[in-house]
Amino acid sequence: MTGTTVIRNADWLVAWDQATGSHVYRRHADIAFADGKVSFIGAGYDGPADDEIDGRDRMVMPGLINIHTHAGWEPVRKGMTDEIRSPGFWHSSLYEYLPLFPLESHETAVCMRVAYAEMLKSGCTTIVDFGFPFDGWLDLMGESGLRVVAAPWFFDASYHTEDGHSLTYEWDEGEGRRQFDAGLRAIDLANQHPSGRLSGMVAPGQADCCTPERLRDAFDVAEERNLPYQLHTAESVVEFHEMQRRHGLTSVGWLEKLGVLGERTILGHAIFLDHHPWLHWTSRRDLPLLAERGVSVAHCPTVFMRRGIALNTLGGYLKVGVNMGIGTDTYPHNMLDELRHAGTIARAVAGTVDDLNTSDVFDAATIGGAKALMRDDIGRLDVGARADLVLVDLKHPAMMPVREPIRNLIFVANDRAVSDVFVDGRHVVRDGEVMTIDHRAACEELAEVQARALADIPKRDWAGRRADDLMPLVYPVTRESV
């Protein structure tokens, strides 16, 4: 049992309205929570209060839900993969660059701490973290203070390139089975974790890297255990043509044939559906099929926009009825960055501001993510919901003047204005500082991890290139004469 915390007289409160089934603004309202749940929203709270917070000059909003991230390795690539070229693979960095950065377990732990701190500071309270389990993996999640859905992924095949333009898949179903079994054990342990904030997700790695039997068996397990099921799908032109070559179907068409599309299914990225203009395909079946089957999509705009790739379009997916969630995927693990990019890129691709509204983006990062995770107690501030909430400083210069606080936050202030974060009623960010992770120390360790990774790149690159050849600095370095 925990005491009651009350935030009094919040200038703006983004509350859930049961009658309309949507977020609404409430002005000068109180919110109270105890035992990890919201117990009161309204005016003039007069119940018990063990801790009181002045809500003046604050917006209180639901914590953001990040349904797709790779905390265990993406932070090490900062300053390395921001603008890499891979023309042989239609600008996808998966095939040339992904294999260049293998990390040891202790290095993965460093990355996780950095990513978790970034997510907390940008208002995330729930995340889905894809990775390979190792000793201490779940405890790191628990120590973070976040609500974490562990997504231990598994592959029957790995891939590599020997020439920078063609791909070789190496199949090992025995290893795929071992990873699958290890993942299920990790899910069991997540559900039993003493933090009470961990759960699990069945997570095949990629549609093109798992056997049909593995994809189907994994979906059956997800149904038996009532778990979400997420896999990377339609994330590159290479994958699209590979699936056509193997099966004569798009990735979505192949998953439909296997019977693994449903309301528990989340497709990571789902960009290169058959309507995408880069494909010049003749059919237009994929997008309506996702809506018909109740599938959710994890939209992660930042990692793709760096390569000149974009979903076509976020508003278009929403208009046909596809449930959309938002993920960070890569560094910086800043959810508010993702929300801004999601809205602006959609409008640029569509060629009109009418593609979507800011409410569509905020909804995707809250109630859309909650729906994808099969939950109705997160992503909203309502009596009985989990006490996952964020306080935004309305007196931060980037938030002023405050006519429209959510627009100011997403399009201007970003994480600079996030002052406090509560997860399950626990104060995990206070005055902009993460209470559960030494963020600065983790960043110092990350610099050492990156230095080691940089030195090893020539051993792993198909052409033996150095980091400076693959990822040149913005400007050349000149030596100073003495």
Whether the bond between 62 and the residue before it is cis, its omega within 30 degrees of 0, is: no
Does residue 367 fall inside a structural domain? yes
Average pLDDT over residues 279-284: 96
Domain presence at residue 389: no
Does residue 362 lie within any of the structural domains?
yes
Query: Domain containing 198 — which CATH number?
Result: 3.20.20.140
- According to DSSP, residue 337 is labeled H
Longest dimension (CA), the chain: 74
Residue-level pLDDT at 416: 97
pLDDT score, position 482? 61
For residue 360, is it within any domain? yes
Calculate mean pLDDT across residues 381-393. 98
* C-alpha to C-alpha distance for 130 and 201, rounded to whole angstroms: 9
- What does the pLDDT average to over 29-33? 98
Please tell me the distance from the alpha carbon of residue 451 to that of residue 473, in angstroms, as a whole number: 15
Report whether pLDDT(433) > 90. yes
Count of domains forming the chain = 1
Angle among Cα 126, 132, 136 to the nearest 5 degrees reads: 75
d(CA 153, CA 228): 13
In a domain, 214, yes or no: yes
Is 221 inside a domain boundary?
Answer: yes
- Collapsing DSSP to helix, strand or coil, 429 comes out as strand
Say how far apart CA 56 and CA 7 lie, in whole Å: 9
Tens digit of each residue's pLDDT (9 = 90 or more) over 289-309: 999 999 999 999 999 999 999
CA–CA separation, 258 and 466 (whole Å): 42
Question: Rounded to the nearest 5°, which phi and psi values hold at 428?
Answer: -110, -20
Two structure tokens written together for 293: 């089957």
Average pLDDT over residues 385-401: 98
Residue 286 within any structural domain of the chain: yes
From the list 46, 43, 47, the residue with the least C-alpha distance to 3 is: 47
Stretch 32-48: mean pLDDT: 97
pLDDT of 17 reads: 97
Q: Are 374 and 60 in contact (CB under 8 A)?
A: no
Q: Whole-angstrom Cα distance, residue 66 to residue 326?
A: 6
Interatomic CA distance for residues 52 and 46, integer angstroms: 12
Look up the domain containing 193 and give its range: 64-372
pLDDT tops 60 at residue 1: no
Q: State the Cα–Cα distance between residues 371 and 8, nearest whole angstrom.
A: 30
> What average pLDDT does this structure show over 279-288?
97
User: What's the confidence (pLDDT) of residue 93?
Assistant: 76
- Kindly tell me the number of DSSP H helices and DSSP E strands found in the chain: 15, 20
* Best CA proximity match to 9, nearest among 23, 25, 26, 21: 26
Burial class (CB in 10 A: 0-12, 13-18, 19+), 47: exposed
Percentage of the chain beyond pLDDT 70 is: 99
Mean pLDDT of 361-376: 98
Return the pLDDT at 86: 83
Q: What is the pLDDT of residue 479?
A: 82
Give the pLDDT band of residue 265 (cuts 50, 70, 90).
very high
Confidence of residue 481 (pLDDT cuts 50, 70, 90): low
Q: How many CB atoms lie within 10 A of CB 397?
A: 10
**Is residue 148 one of the residues assigned to a domain?**
yes
Could you tell me the pLDDT band of residue 233, with boundaries at 50, 70 and 90? Answer: very high
Q: Which residues contact 301 (CB under 8 A, 6 or more apart)?
A: 310, 311, 314, 338, 341, 342, 345
Can you give the pTM of this predicted structure?
0.97
